[in-house]
Every structure is written in C-alpha cells, then in structure tokens.
Amino acid sequence: MPIYKAPLRDMRFVAFEVFKAEEVWAANPAFAEVDRDLVDAILEESARFNEEVIFPLNRSGDEEGCRVEGDTVRTPAGFREAFRQYAEGGWIGLGADVKYGGQGLPKMVTAMTDEILFGCNPSFALYPLLGIGAALAMSQHADEALNETYLPKIYSGEWSGTMCLTEPHAGTDLGIIRTRAEPQADNSYLITGTKIFITGGEHDLTDNIIHLVLAKLPGAPSGSKGISLFLVPKFLVNADGSLGERNAVHVGSIEHKMGIKASATCVMNFDGARGWLVGEPNEGLAAMFVMMNYERLSMGLQGLGASEVAYQNAAAYARDRLQGRSATGAQCPEKAADPLLVHPDIRRMLLTVRAHNEAARCFAMYVSQALDASKYGVSETDRQKGRDLVALLTPVAKAFLSDRGFDACVMAQQVLGGHGYIREWGMEQLVRDTRIAQIYEGTNGVQAMDLAGRKVVRNQGAYVRLYLEEVRSLLASLQSIPELSAFSHSLTEAVQCLEEATNLLLQQAAADAQAINAAAVDYLHLFGLVSYAHMWTMMARAAVSRRGTDAYYQHKLELGQYFMQRMLPEIDTRLAAIKSGPAAMMQFPAEYF
C-alpha cells in the first residue's frame, strides 16, 4: 500500500525562510491577523486530516469509481462523509472573503494545503476546488444579490460549484459554442445546450450544485467576444434562501476515464434551465479567467502533489529493496544483495524527482505571492505588478509543473521496476491520475501558446523583462556571498539563455505567423527550467547561512547543485529547437500524415 506524509518541513522552509511570509503579511493590512503560529496550526491539521481521512479513500475511490443512479451520480464509499468533515473543518472557505463566511487567508497558505490535498486524493480535491473557483469568479463579477445568496453556501460546503465551458464540438475554441441564453421578463435567462467534461457536474456530496455556464445571447458578436457567463443552480433558490424546485439541468452520462475515476466527469444537458447573468453581457471569458488563473496554479499543484507521493514511495522502496551489488563492491556483505540506492541510475531518478518537487513547491509559492499581490497589494503599483506576473507565470505553473509532475511519477514508478506496474503499490494510479493535469483547464500546448503568444510576443517581452528584474535583483544580492558563486554563475547563464530565446521568438514571430506555435512548448519548458534555477538560487541563499546547524540545509544546497549540473543544461536543447524555426515541422504536406 502507498504511503504519504505531508512535507511540512519543506513547506515551512519555503514559506518562512525563503519568502519571509511573516514579514510579507505584517506589511499588508489584509493579512494583519495571519502569523506563523496560525499557519503552523493550519498545516499540522491539514496534514493530519488529509493523511488520516482523505488519503485512505484514494485507492478505494479509484477501484469503485462513480456511477449514475437515476438523476444523480453516486460517489465512492466514504466520500460523502469525508466531504462533510472537510466542509465542517472550514477548509473550503480557507482563502475566501470573510464577507461571505470565508477565513480570508492568503494564497501563500492555501497553496500549501492544496498541495497536501492533491497529494492525498486528486479525485476528492476536485469537488471543493471547483466550488472555490466558481465562487471566486462570482465574487469579482456577479452582483451583490447573487453573491449573498450563493457564496456563503459554497464556502460552507452545503453547496458546490462547477465550470461549464466545453461542448462536444468546442473545446479550446470556445468562440464556436452553441449553448444559448434566452432573456426573460424577470431578468433571468433560459439556458439550452450540452456541456461535456464537467467535473462534479452531478454528485451526492452537497444539497445543491451551482453551475457557471458559458453561453451566447441572441445577437451576440461571433467568436469569443460574444460569450456570456451565467449562474445556473441545480435547484432553484427561494427568496428565503431555501431550496425550491429542480431546475432543467440534468446529467446525461459520466465519462469512463483513464484516471481520477472517483471524480464525476459529466455530460450535462441544459434544457431551458433558468439562470442569471454573471458580469456584463458578452464578457463571460473575462469573468471565467479570474477562476482559471487560480485553477491553473491548482493543476500545477496537482502535478506536484502526485510527484511528492511518488517520490516518497519510490525512495522507501529503494531503501528496502535488495537487488544487485554496488559497482564499488558489496555495501551490505551480510545480505544477499545491496539496496537499490547503491546504484547511480536509481539515485538519478530519485534526485531528479526530488529536485523537481522542491523547485515546484518554491515556484508555486512565488506565483501564490503574485496572486496575493494582484488582489491585496497595498498600492496600485504593487497590484499591477502582481497582475502582470500572474499573467506571465500561470501558464508556466500549470503546464510546466504538470508536465514535470507526470514525468516524475513515471520516473518514480520506474524505480519500482515490475512492482511499479502492479496496482497494489499505488504507482500506476499516480501515473494515470496525473496525466489529466496536462490536459484539462487548457491543454499544456495551449498554455504554451498563451505564454509565447499573448504573454511574450503581444507585449514585446515586457512581462519577461519585469520578471527578469526580480531575478537580477536576486543575483545582485549574491555578490556578497562567495559560497553561492556556482549558483550565481548558473543562473546568470540561464537568464542569458532565456533572453536570447525571447528575442529570437520576437524576431521569428515578426517574420512567420507559424513561429509562435512552433516554438511555444520549447519556450515554456525553457522558461520553466530558468524559473526553477531562480527558485533553487533563492533556496540556496536561504540555506547557506544555516548549513552548519542542520543537515537539512546542507542537503538543500547539494540538491540545488544537482539541479544546476544535471537538469538545467536542458535549456540548451530547448534553445536549439527554437532556433530551428517552424520549417522543419511545416514542410510536410497534409497527405504525409
């Protein structure tokens, strides 16, 4: 059976020693009541609850899956009670506005609890996560009457939420959706259409489900500029807040999936269902992207949570499994063979996974800090900088962390050899469950195009220059720390590589319309690797002064060196691919395929 312990020591190091979270919160009136003692208590309880209650349901939920019964979907045994406990514990409203019953904690805190939850059970995590995202979009775009009616119930866990975008013929290209909204005399709308791949579209965990649905009004402009957002509840809500009659929205079926089988992924039919406009007409995507920025970080955290579990199980196996002898001679001559850990290739895999995990955790905190600044910054300058960094970094957080998280799960599975392919060890489920993080919430290829096209080329690299100002500020601080000269040298070269790639992308895009799409994935991975080098240098700066006090700090420095020496050089390959341009892939005629 798989094991998991929340990596609290590393989380605390990142939050309080690398990012100086207490100082950040003390300087912001929005977080005046947030301190180290409070966050430590939250992390301890999150670890305890998720390890004891949520993690044991991960495999059984995968084995049982969801099933349609009449007009509802039954979740696996134990999920309903676990969701009740999760809601009663206040976890759904942890980062929510206190005005609607939330606790108002920064994203820098909820990113850590989200990682723990995703590590323990990604299928379970999606049920509250979608409600949180829907509520976030509403809080910034819906009118106050809707928010007062729905948000407290979502944050309490009595109701849940969904995001209904995709249709059978329209995935990434939302401009061609067919779902329609007909205005009514009472300012409501009748919503008609079919949505697919709806996470938590129907289930038995809450009394009501609140759907946020993209649809088009009569006469709306064509394409994505004509999309509006509507709130469509499963049960209509009476004036006194009680539940009324069933709305005309029903589950058509559930998908039979590769992974996250305990998450109900539904086809939802809206047959003249009554809904209410969220935000302004034809501006639905703007409202939805409030939700998507947070969701995309969450998908990166899903990849990180899984790869942390994968590492812990692979490392435990490598310590215990006896197989072969060390190349330098028997290390355990009293035993029939040496542990797997004596073999360099086993160490390569484990160190690669762990180096990714610790960099990803730091990067998630970096993006979380930007998200907090974008919303709660003490000045408009701070908020704008936060918004610009969020725009640049969320596609990287989603795509790079989930790509590398999946790779890490496969690599950790490989450590177990044949046992990694067998169900009871849990590794094959990690691989299956994590694969979806590269696909939903915008495929990673789309994330790469968003980064390269909208976030780099469209503004001629302005966001990248803003980010690199922060990196150079870090490099300047290292001049007085000679012990970190190797980190400084590696990061400096990485920055130069990113600048070259960015300038090259801008030049290619000006000359060839295919260039952005052709270079996008390589550019995103190059950017991600440079960001990891940035994170490892930040962690090295925090660790170097304390390396003699605790082996943890010395090991942190050594793992950072491993990343710089063994993993960062991939940026050269990515740059070479970008330099080749689109011709190598576009020269083939369609008939070739």
Instruction: Transcribe 456-493 into DSSP letters.
Output: IITTTTHHHHHHHHHHHHHHHHGGG-GGGHHHHHHHHH
Q: Tell me how far apart the alpha carbons of residues 105 and 45 are, in angstroms, rounded to a whole number.
A: 15
What value, to the nearest 5°, has the Cα angle with vertex 313 and ends 309 and 317?
Answer: 170
pLDDT of residue 288: 82
pLDDT of residue 548: 87
- CA distances to 32, 67, 133, 301 from 402, rounded to whole Å, are 33, 28, 19, 8
pLDDT of residue 129: 96
Stretches where the chain sits below pLDDT 50 are: none
pLDDT of residue 393: 98
pLDDT of residue 294: 78
The DSSP code sequence of 501-552 is HHHHHHHHHHH-TTHHHHHHHHHHHHHHHHHHHHHHHHHHHHHHTTTTT-HH
The catalytic position among 358, 441, 493, 591 is 441
For the chain, first and last CA: distance in Å?
44
Per residue in 403-418, pLDDT (tens digit) is 999 999 999 999 999 9
Query: Is residue 441 annotated as a catalytic residue, yes or no?
Result: yes
How many other C-beta atoms lie within 10 A of the C-beta of residue 88? 11
Which amino acid, 15?
A: A
Residue 410 CA, distance from chain mean position: 19
Residue 274 CA, distance from chain mean position: 32
pLDDT of residue 173: 81
Query: Residue 17 corresponds to which tokens in the numbers above?
Result: 């020693």
pLDDT of residue 126: 98
pLDDT of residue 175: 80
pLDDT of residue 491: 98
pLDDT of residue 495: 98
Of 272, 259, 209, 193, the closest CA to residue 73 belongs to 209
318-332: buried (b, 16+ CB within 10 Å) or exposed (e) per residue?
beebeeebeeeeeee
